[in-house]
Structure formats: C-alpha cells, structure tokens
Amino acid sequence: MTGYNSNGDVATSNANGHQNGHNGSSNNNGNRQLTADYTAQENHTNNINSQEKIQCYLSTEELRALRVMNEDTYPYEVIQEIADFIVKGSNMRPKIGIICGSGLGSLADIIQDAKVFEYEKIPNFPVSTVEGHAGKLVVGNLEGAVVMAMQGRFHFYEGYPLAKCSMPVRVMKLCGVEYLFATNAAGGINPKYSVGDIMLMHDHVNMLGFAGNSPLQGPNDPRFGPRFPALVNSYNKELINKALEIGKQMGIEANMHVGVYSCLGGPTYETIAELKALRMMGVDAVGMSTVHEVITARHCDMKVFAFSLITNKCATEYSDKKDDEANHDEVMAVAKNRQKACCELVARLIRQIQASS
C-alpha cells in the first residue's frame, strides 16, 4: 500500500519490499546492519508508517531505496514539490537538464557556481545504487546557461519501475527545463564502431516497450502531456547537426556516428543471439537506460539531445575469446578516458544553444 501524508512524505507498506531489498545492492555498504525490526528502523530513520515487520540485513541507504522503490506513482503535486525544493534551494531556474551516464559524472563537475543536492536529501527522490552514479543533482552555470545535471540515473534493473526511473525528467520540466541532454555508456553493435566512439542518438528501439513496459503506463496526467504521444522526431535534428559540426571542430568526426540505440532491462549484458537479433533490427548500440527518459521528456515536449559513449564492442559471432565479455569495470574505465571529449561536446553545444537564443 502506498500514499503520501500531508507533508508530501511517502507513507508506504509493501510486502514485496524485503525481497527487493535482499536482492538490491548499495554503493555504500558502510552502514549495513541486522535490521531486526524494519518497522522500528523505518519509523526511526525516515519518520514513516509501515505495517511490515521484516527481518533482514539492510543498510540505511538500502532501506531508503526500498521505501522509495515501492512507490508506484509520482502525482503532479509531488513532482511540483520536488521541483520547488530544487528551485528554491538553488535559487536558480535551469533551462537545460543533463543526465550523466555510467562513469560520465564528470560532466557535472564542469558546472560553475554549483549548488549540489544529494539525492537522499531531496524529498521523495530515489537513490542511486550503481557504481559510477554518484547520486547528486548539480544546479549551476555552464557556458552561460543554467543547467541541472544528474550525477547518477535510475535504472530498471535496480528495481525501480520505469516511471520512477524517469521521474526526474518531469522534475526538470517543472523546474523550467526546455532541453534534455541524456548520455549513456553503451555496447557498440555496429561493426564500424570502435571503443571510445560517440554515437549521437537519432532514434531508438524500445525493447522494454515491446514487452509492455512504459514510463507512461497508468493514468495520464494531461498537465504533463497527451495520452498517446508521437515519438517520430524525438531526437532534435538541429542539435544533432550542431553536434556533428562541433565534432568536426574538435577533430573527432571520425569517432562520431549517428545511430540507433536500444535499451534492454539488464543487469545482464546480452547473449550473442540477442546481439545478432538487435543488429538485424537496425540497432547500433545497446544499453540499459535513456529510452524511458526520452519518452518522458518528449511526452512533456522537451527538446532532446542524447548520445552513447561506446564503452565496449559487442560480439555478434560465437568465439572463445574472454575479451568478448562486457564488464562494468571496462565500461567505467573507457568512460573515464573519454570524459574530457564528452564534456567538451556538451559544453560547446550548450554554448551554441545560448548563442542562438
């Protein structure tokens, strides 16, 4: 059962919670303890009411993640409260929202006059549980524009429903954001792609959507957008063209592509058969994010620019090579190596948006 109390705080009790919590991981294990009485701990630390008594080992962070995880929907008013908290707390009204992909959090480090909000201090906000996703929201100036950047996104495989994964996009909208910049780490399926390349997204294949999952599932609130939004032209062509031009100026045009991304649920990387199938469908790069954020952004009429950093090459033929196995350490290492170029691309594009507005 879920609901909001008069302060807009989450009040939840959900019998699935302990199962999710057991399976979930945390990026902070320092606080792990036997939570013999879930109700008592929750009431004590989070001031919420729960009918459940759960015996399990959970850190305080995991308990919070579990609580937020079990919220099904974010009504407009709750999103508005979160947006107000950010706008008032930063005294800034951002125009551009940035979501940093795995290992690409340094995009937010170039923001000046930054006001930093830790996710766990933002009311009703989920928490990041993945390495390479710091869990901070940074509001400040970048190339003359006020931006808000998420250092850490939420993934389906963390246990969050898609609507929750992309809820921050709606927060951005109600903060005043007009442009969404989404970045991700992805495996390159197109044989022409190399590790370290940047693929500007011009379309996607929504595999989770094929399976009947959408961030827009459930009652539609027309204050965000229409019940049946169209998704052709989701990726802003003008921004893609500007980015290609910037790529030339930076001398990285040979490492830049325009292609199709697909999001799978993860957390497993793909089998060879799956990669073959994706390639046949016209997919160039595969990851575990972004698509639901783009859908949510287009639903509320934001302009979208998104790119994938190719962190690994996906094998589409069977072999015994250990190299063919993707791993998150490699993903992070490549992202670290290429973060300078990614930051520069984003900064220059924002400069151009500012210059033409």
Ligand X SMILES: Nc1nc2[nH]cnc2c(=O)[nH]1
Q: What residue ranges bind ligand LQZ7MJT6 (CB under 6 A)?
A: 101-102, 130, 153, 155, 184-185, 266, 287-289, 328, 331
- Residue 44 catalytic? no
For 76, phi then psi, to 5°, come to -50, -45
| 14 interface partner picked from ligand LQZ7MJT6, ligand X, none, CB below 5 to 8 A per type | none
- Residue 318 catalytic? no
| 260 interface partner picked from ligand X, ligand LQZ7MJT6, none, CB below 5 to 8 A per type | none
Coil/strand/helix, residue 267: coil
Per DSSP, what are the bridge partners of residue 116?
138
- Residue 133 catalytic? yes
Coil/strand/helix, residue 311: strand
Instruction: Determine the Cα–Cα distance for residues 100 and 289; give it in Å rounded to an integer.
Output: 11
| 153 interface partner picked from ligand LQZ7MJT6, ligand X, none, CB below 5 to 8 A per type | ligand LQZ7MJT6
Q: Going by C-beta distance under 8 Å and a sequence separation of 6 or more, which residues neighbour residue 241?
A: none
Amino acid, single-letter form, for residue 321: K
Catalytic pick from 61, 158, 270, 293?
A: 158
Closest C-alpha among 288, 90, 324, 312 to residue 182: 288
Residue 10 or 107: which CB sits closer to ligand LQZ7MJT6? 107
C-beta nearest to ligand X: residue:
187
Coil/strand/helix, residue 76: helix
Catalytic pick from 52, 328, 330, 332?
A: 328
Counting contacts by CB under 6 A, is residue 331 touching ligand X?
yes
For the chain, the straight-line distance linking the first and the last C-alpha, in angstroms and rounded, comes to 47
Residues 265-304 that bind ligand X (CB under 6 A): 266, 269-270, 286-288
C-beta nearest to ligand LQZ7MJT6: residue:
101
List the Cα angle 185/98/21 in 5-degree steps.
Answer: 65
| 95 interface partner picked from ligand LQZ7MJT6, ligand X, none, CB below 5 to 8 A per type | none
- Residue 157 catalytic? yes
- Residue 185 catalytic? yes
Catalytic pick from 182, 185, 297, 302?
A: 185
Size of site (CB under 6 A) for ligand X: 15
Q: Going by C-beta distance under 8 Å and a sequence separation of 6 or more, which residues neighbour residue 285?
A: 186, 187, 188, 189, 190, 193, 199, 259, 260, 261, 262, 308, 310
Interface residues toward ligand X, by CB under 6 A: 185-187, 264, 266, 269-270, 286-288, 311-312, 314, 326, 331
Question: Catalytic positions, please?
Answer: 102, 133, 155, 157-158, 185, 288-289, 312, 328
